[in-house]
Copies of this chain bind each other. A is one copy, B any other.
């Protein structure tokens, strides 16, 4: 047999970099001959050799059908042959707890006896499902848009008709059944820009930087799609708070971005500390390429409202470290605690002067699903992009165009949200009253929840300054922890599952959002009507007492 050697590399032992490479000929007679080659050629040969070897292995060990994953005896698509990135995705807000809650509802319908009569889904911020009534003006405009014959109906107020006509004029063929421009209907984007300007004390907003989206989730995932690339150590990393809203971790898993955790400080009311950001970033740079920093303000699931100073610090940090900022501000109208004010990242950025406002890339997200309207089902949302490279903006527009457009009824709803009745208009009084009532009710329930939970032995509950959730720290006895671990369950998942089975109350375990090792939490929305919320708070306290006793 005649052999030939492919390559060899010479290392300098100290620096461990490649200094030289050569081809080696193993001569039939037993001698060896070395021929120097460029390092680039050596690397090319390495890659080629690996690819040959991989092909060789698969070809050798599998039949053709198996290579093609298409054996006609089994399924094409199985847990093993599906996209494993998708398989790894977790989304606790609609996870196993909710699946079990739905099963229990079915069991109740079938007459199965339970120690309760209904399932209370306090796992998700779904205001209308919890009995909150839609804002009249919003729904009047939507009905007019859906069925324009109603524009002739005297029962509808003129300001609602005015809004509906403006929206319909922006639609192809004056129908919300036409596709819109992929970025969203132009006149609605202009209304969004005006709203932002007003909110931010006159800082300009350009409708060309507004993208209407299918809820905020869609816009967040779209931005992550643009950002995430690279392999190994150059793979894009994205910083997210812990606890986080699990859309972020789910999207990062699916897109194979590197999740970089920074921890909020529970003892400082879930405060965000730049020192912690820096620690987290420095550690991440060892293994990936951090490029974006996500902030949720007001916080989900943690309910804190960030101070102006904190936002300034974050912006300064992002500039110093060259990070794109993603500001999830969908709870911007949900601020309850005295002394707390919502500051948009956009406003603070521009108040910091051109040194910052002309440099830092910022994307801010909003939604029709939260705030006082709670119109989750319409999947309305927008993002404003600031300082985005114009070429990247063109790519963003192209990417969203593949899905044609976001739902036009959701766009219309967003228009009403940013362009509500004004003083002097016929719907102003009712609208203002309904809006204030929703927010006052939420503020009261935020306070009630905090006080109630802080009276439960073993609970520690930060103030619900904003958003619509509480995330109390709970105490789980060691005996319960051991039992959960033996069953392969997170201890707070076991706690929540037992609560569900005992009381019908569906919460999300803290492990679904991330939490410091050794601490346990759950997320509960404060949305149930006051009397039901009181019932829920009592039942949780009772359950907790029993749980502590059972595992003491």
Contacts and interface: CB of A to CB of B under 8 A. Distances in A.
B142 A234 contact: no
A550 to B, nearest CB: 32
B290 A402 contact: no
A41 interface: no
A233 B171 contact: no
Contacts of A378: 176-177, 407-409
Q: Which of A178, A230, A323, A410 has the most CB of B within 10 A?
A: A178
Interface stretch (A71-79, A341-349, A451-459, A469-477): A71-79
A377 B175 contact: yes
Nearest to A285: B68
A403 interface: yes
Interface stretch (A52-60, A438-446, A481-489, A496-504): A52-60
Contact of A86 (B68, B374, B379, B399): B399
Nearest to A34: B32
Interface string A398-416: 1101111111111000000
A250 B402 CA distance: 7
A182 interface: yes
Contacts of A337: none
B128 A71 contact: no
Given A11-B3, A228-B83, A322 B399 contact: no
B11 A8 contact: no
Contacts of A159: none
25 contacts: A16-B56, A17-B56, A18-B53, A32-B34, A55-B232, A64-B285, A70-B322, A72-B359, A76-B361, A77-B291, A82-B395, A83-B225, A86-B399, A129-B172, A129-B179, A131-B173, A140-B147, A142-B147, A143-B150, A177-B375, A215-B404, A377-B408, A378-B407, A378-B409, A379-B405
Interface of A: 1-13, 16-18, 24, 26, 32, 34, 39, 43, 46-47, 49-56, 58, 60, 64-65, 67-72, 75-79, 81-87, 89, 91, 94-95, 102, 124, 126-134, 139-140, 142-144, 146-147, 150, 153, 155, 171-173, 175-182, 214-215, 217-218, 221, 225-230, 232-234, 236, 247, 250-251, 254, 285, 289-292, 319-324, 359, 361, 369, 373-379, 387-389, 391-392, 395, 398-399, 401-410
